[in-house]
Amino acid sequence: MAYMIGMAVGGVVGMLLLSRLTLWMFKRLGDNERRILVAHAVAYVLAVGLGGLGYADGGPPRFLYAASVYGLPTLLWLAMDLLGLKGRRFKGQVSN
């Protein structure tokens, strides 16, 4: 049980940091849905690639396992960012 909690927390925190980095890298795209989707897709691909190699533990890469570990955290931060964008637009802070 403790292992599963650690994996969940690690996935959420890891994807938070990686998604913030990719959002910063793509800030030239503006504050819109396209930037958020591209940044999170890149973050997910990086996490699966690096995680798959890290979970190999001397064997073949485990990309499918990494995809399952980082899938839900990626969707969580994607939803949070899209809702945050919608909230900023509702308050009139961001224009299309």
32-86 pLDDT, tens digit per residue, is: 899 999 999 999 999 999 999 999 989 999 999 999 999 999 999 999 999 998 8
What type of residue is 30? G
Residue 96: band (very low, low, confident or very high) from pLDDT cuts 50, 70, 90: low
| Distance between start and end Cα atoms, the chain | 45
> How many Cα atoms within 13 Å fall on the side-chain side of residue 46?
15
Residue 51 tokens read as: 């995680």
**Environment class of residue 95 by beta-carbon count within 10 Å: exposed (0-12), middle (13-18) or buried (19+)?**
exposed
pLDDT number for residue 95: 57
**Which has more confidence, 87 or 75?**
75
